[in-house]
Amino acid sequence: MTKTNFDRYLEAQLEDPAFAARLADADEAWDVSMQIATLRQEAGLSQKELAKLLNTSQQQISRLESADYEGHSLSMLRRVAEALHSKVRVIFEPIEPLPAMQVAETPTSYGRRSAKHATQKEKPS
């Protein structure tokens, strides 16, 4: 397949980490908005009808379905999902492999006194 000018431009832009991060963020927002719109349409509801079910405004539904909107609350997403007979799933995925995590302190056995601690307490002062 022949690369278009846009393909070459996008490849060059993706070399910039800041641009790549912004594109990834936009992709996440686009995914949420498209899922809401698709589920609503599959349910045969208009934005106004879904808004009525949720006791909110049509404008709020429009915002939720906008890829530019970043104010999604988990509680609102749950309400939308319930009205559309769906459920919300949030998945955290590592951006890159994490290094092995280490604890800065030595492990402590809570509830048991060490032999050294017990003998110090038993000595009269």
What is the pTM assigned to this prediction? Answer: 0.58
DSSP letter (8 states) at residue 15? T
Q: In the chain, pLDDT over 90 holds for what percent of residues?
A: 39
Residue 67, Ramachandran bin (φ over 0: left; ψ between -120 and 50: alpha; else beta): alpha
CA atoms of 11 and 21, how far apart (whole Å): 14
Determine the pLDDT at residue 12.
86
Residue 113: pLDDT band (50, 70, 90) is low
CA atoms of 125 and 121, how far apart (whole Å): 9
DSSP strand E in 1-125: where?
none
Residue-wise pLDDT tens digits, 18-72: 877 776 766 676 788 999 999 999 999 999 999 999 999 999 999 999 988 888 8
Spell out the domain ranges in the chain.
5-92
User: Is residue 109 pLDDT above 80, yes or no?
Assistant: no
First to last CA, the chain: 87
What is the second-level CATH architecture of the domain 5-92? Orthogonal Bundle (1.10)
Between residues 114 and 23, the one the model is more confident about = 23
Token pair 């110090």: residue: 120
Residue-wise pLDDT tens digits, 59-74: 999 999 998 888 889 9
